[in-house]
Structure 1
Amino acid sequence: MTSQQNIETHTFQTPFGKILALKENKILKVRSIRYARSERYKKPVPVEPSDSEFIFPEKIPVCPQVISPLIERMIAPTDIESYEVEESTQFLSVYRPENCNENEKIPIVVWIHGGSHEIGCGDVSTADPTEWVKEQNIMVVTVSYRLGLFGFLGGNENRPPNLGLMDVIEALKWIKNNIQFFGGNPENITLLGQSSGGDLIAHLMLSEGMENLFQRVIIQSAPLGLRHNRQKMSAEFLKKTEHLKDETDVFKMMDDYRNFVPSIARYGLKAAMPFGLQYGFYPLCKENEAVGKWKQSAGKIDVLIGLNDDETALYLKTSEQLNRYLSKGLGKKILNKTVRLTTETIYGKPAKIFAENYAQAGGNVYLFRIHSKLKTNYLGAPHCIDLPLIFGNESAWKSAELLKDIPWEYIDKNGKKIRSLWAEFASSGKISRDSEIPDILELRKI
């Protein structure tokens, strides 16, 4: 507590306990509340209420993971000293405007981070929601959950699949029961996820026990094209990493499992995401039942789903090897065509099919696409370009190679408009025809 003595604080009285918040930059911020605990490969157990005061830790808890050189270069380097490796990574953080009326029930957005079900956490500077919270008078809750070997690989009673998904379900139950004591509206909860976080949210719509835990979803850049026929690949990857299951050194686990990723490359595009949600295991249905289950959600959950126009450029156009041969002339045309084809296969076509199926079943659904209008921007609108638009935070993005050809003023101008639209949807489930749509955004109700 010594380092926090000169910082202005606020205490929330909740059924869970007294929870300390920081007053910072015109918002109240509660970081790293533990909502559940788990033993390795065990289901999460919710944390019991306590009479003591919950004080956030000095460092941010993060699930053991391999640092991605691509993310380090294109988005932001990892400040390792800011994080504490924690195998039981069930934490959430709350951001709300400092000044709001006591009886005002603020719409809640629950942020589910991406990272191929393998990397990331709920609290990173490039997804700090402070600007959005201040601008739009919303509350944002960020969620951390188990990843990789600990959360998204399994196949039997000793190593159940979908543990990361179960973690998020426990977080949503915590939010439902406690968020009103922070000034939030427990009947107005929107889940927002990007990449594998969007994939997770789409599957929360299918999961058992989700009744009335959320009313809306915003699914950004979900790789729904990789969700099919993963059973054999998952079983093989599980078998190849079985010898690591009892390893006490988590860093050795991280180093060793990567050696087996190339061995599943024959499974095609889906092998680019070796960890994932597994159908036919709790809390998910069988794969052939998924579309029917999604249709059953129509009329209950509002959906805003979409993608960026050049998703796979983040991977293909940043490859030194590919650029060596495909940066000019015919090679450049081949590379652009490959970006287009893979973007549509993994993201575009599955999002469109999802939206059309949902609308046919009577659901309220909007489909969006983010484009690049800058001719000087080599990458176009790649995977992750939606993050600075949604979260702002120029200081966190200043060194990002992802934005090297894009002036921050361009991101800021378009980002403010998108943040306003997303907040409007989170508040009401609708986007008015009178709302201002930025040039880079194609948006339509299906």
Structure 2
Amino acid sequence: MTANQNNSNTHTFHTPFGRILAFRENGILKAKNIRYAYSERFKKPIAAKSSASEIIFPEKTPVCPQNISPLLEKMIGKTNLDDFEVDESPQYLSVFRPENCSENEKLSVIVWIHGGSYEIGCGDLSTADPTDWVKEQNIIVVSVSYRLGIFGFLGGNDTKLANLGLFDIIEALKWIKKNIPAFGGNSENITLFGQSSGGDAIAHLMISEGTENLFNRVIIHSAPLGLRKNRQKMSAEFLENTKMYNEKSDILEIIENYKNHVPSFLKYGLKAAMPFGTQYGFPPLCKEDEAEEKWRRRAKNIDVLIGLNDEETAFYLRASETLNKYIPSKILNKAIRATTEIIYGKPASDFADNFANAGGNVYLFRIYPRFKASNYFLGAHAIDLPFIFGNESAWKNAGILKNIPWEYIDENGKKLRKLWTEFAKTGKIADDSERPEILEVSKV
């Protein structure tokens, strides 16, 4: 690892990929928006070639074409569109490293795979800025952006390939494996960490072709594994209904109009809540009925930490003014409890049991914020993110945190980050390690 000081604000990392410029900010070095692959519409990614000239990050964060989510704006906070540049080939990653680390130190690496129903988001959002985690725990965090929605997770025929977003992430992991030692990272200690569809993607990367030896551990938060089965008919119908969009269609036209063709709740039930997703039976994945056996086969090679928040679906159900107006709170609470278990709880528990029965090292957790405040969302989907990432300024207007003092988030967050880092470094959580009060975690 060598990092040359260009001036007081920047460093250059000398990597197999080329000389990469990073800037120094708040005690860490950030090498942002490094292109790891290119793609043409509906085609597999091609790894980016190394460069002889210095690689300088773009001013704006590249982001896959997508619609703004009014729900996310209300619950998490407004997105400043001026910070982003729409790019249909959004294969970029960012590396965050402590500023002061010794020449021979090999830091544990955590790779962040963002969520957003395979439809929205990107790797570099302020609500998932890992600065606090990197500084406190002396680790490297790499965030990854990949294709979403119709560009990354529909497909299923000769002209529109399925699972393109998964192929993107695999290219990112190959890049990280090869280049992270030049940033001071340990390429033999890489943990994937994902929330929501990011966690679902990680579960499927574990059984994807071409991922052997690319990572050692996984931390899976709030993966909607209860929506993963029997999606073939729904995906085929969605693909058929959007067949008018081809490699020449205007991006804006696609983004504005695909919503008119999403699968119906009446026909497909809860699965229709996540119309895009990984698809079994297409590379790099196996057939659906082979998945559990494949996870069992990987059990000896990958350590797993998997779990959920206590009332995941409160994020959606309690945020709906219509539901709150017409449905009594007791019934709504029962619906939240039932749907949380169907989509997240039982599938996580079954996944952990399957893995443990095959000899795997697996921990199961549940996050229960217990602060006595008038807040409907204490155990809701995404409530874990401010605890994990910190960054008070990014979360200050989040509806999900209404009436919860930041001191409570910060105190529990520091303990949670320390515990998750212990798992990332060792694959274990010691019995005597301090737990935050929001957490229940046990070895399966």
Match of 1:344 among 341, 345, 352: 341
TM-score (norm 2): 0.97
What is the match of residue 204 of structure 1?
A: 205
Which 5+ residue runs of structure 2 have no aligned equivalent? 1-5
2: distance between equivalents of 1:332 and 1:319? 12
Q: 1:368, 1:441 within 8 Å by CA — same for their partners in 2?
A: yes
Shift of 1:380: 2.5
What is the match of residue 438 of structure 2?
A: 440
Matched residue of 2:78: which SS? coil
Shift of 1:76: 1.4
Shift of 1:249: 2.3
What is the match of residue 226 of structure 1?
A: 227
Q: Which amino acid aligns with 1:403?
A: L
What is the match of residue 421 of structure 2?
A: 423
- The answer to whether the aligner puts 1:379 opposite 2:380 as a matched pair is no
Which 5+ residue runs of structure 1 have no aligned equivalent? none
1: distance between equivalents of 2:42 and 2:127? 30
Match of 1:398 among 392, 396, 412: 396
2: distance between equivalents of 1:375 and 1:189? 37
What is the match of residue 151 of structure 2?
A: 150
What is the match of residue 184 of structure 1?
A: 185
Q: How does 1:249-398 map to 2 (within 5 A)?
A: 249-261=250-262, 263=264, 265-326=266-327, 331-376=328-373, 377-398=375-396
Judge which range, 369-378 or 160-169, deviates more: 369-378
Aligned length: 438
Report Cα offsets for 1:63-114 as digits up to 9, x if no partner: 0001100001100111001000000010000000000011000000000000
2: distance between equivalents of 1:6 and 1:80? 30
Q: 2:238, 2:263 within 8 Å by CA — same for their partners in 1?
A: no
What is the match of residue 48 of structure 1?
A: 49
1: distance between equivalents of 2:46 and 2:275? 26
2: distance between equivalents of 1:243 and 1:264? 23
Q: 1:313, 1:383 within 8 Å by CA — same for their partners in 2?
A: yes
What is the match of residue 9 of structure 2?
A: 8
2: distance between equivalents of 1:117 and 1:206? 18
Closer/same/farther in 2, CA of residues 235 and 344 from structure 1, 3 Å limit:
same
Q: Percent identity?
A: 68
Q: 2:109, 2:141 within 8 Å by CA — same for their partners in 1?
A: yes
Shift of 1:6: 7.8
Matched residue of 1:107: which SS? strand
Matched residue of 1:180: which SS? helix
CA-based RMSD of the aligned residues comes to 1.1
Q: 2:296, 2:355 within 8 Å by CA — same for their partners in 1?
A: yes
Shift of 1:375: 3.2
Moved over 6 A (4+): none
2: distance between equivalents of 1:265 and 1:97? 50
Q: 2:193, 2:218 within 8 Å by CA — same for their partners in 1?
A: yes
Q: 2:234, 2:263 within 8 Å by CA — same for their partners in 1?
A: no
2: distance between equivalents of 1:234 and 1:264? 13
Matched residue of 2:244: which SS? helix
TM-score (norm 1): 0.97
Shift of 1:265: 4.5
What is the match of residue 168 of structure 1?
A: 169
Report Cα offsets for 1:240-262 as digits up to 9, x if no partner: 11112245421221110011126
Q: 2:237, 2:263 within 8 Å by CA — same for their partners in 1?
A: no
Shift of 1:263: 4.0
